[in-house]
Amino acid sequence: MLKPEYLQKISDEITTKLSGFNQPLPSGQALKSLIKEAVAKLDLISREDYERLLQIHQRTRQKVDALNSRVTELETKLKN
């Protein structure tokens, strides 16, 4: 979930950008709720999950590269 500071920053930026319009703005709390609802609908993962998946990917990539090298080596031996 978004950190409260980041949510506040987004809310402030939206309020600033929308203040130029001649329509009433939602209250700060209502705006935060709208932002939370919009973010909840997005298909996002946390930074921690992303980092963990990146590590898994890197380990898998290393194993695939090692296996590819081994297969190439075995194919070379088989041809000779």
pLDDT of the chain along its 80 residues, tens only? Answer: 567 777 777 777 777 777 666 666 566 677 777 777 777 777 778 889 999 999 999 999 999 999 999 999 999 999 98
pLDDT at 68: 97
Cβ-contact 28, 11 below 8 angstroms: yes
Q: Which residue type sits at 71?
A: V
- pLDDT at position 1 is 55
Whole-angstrom Cα distance, residue 53 to residue 15?
Answer: 35
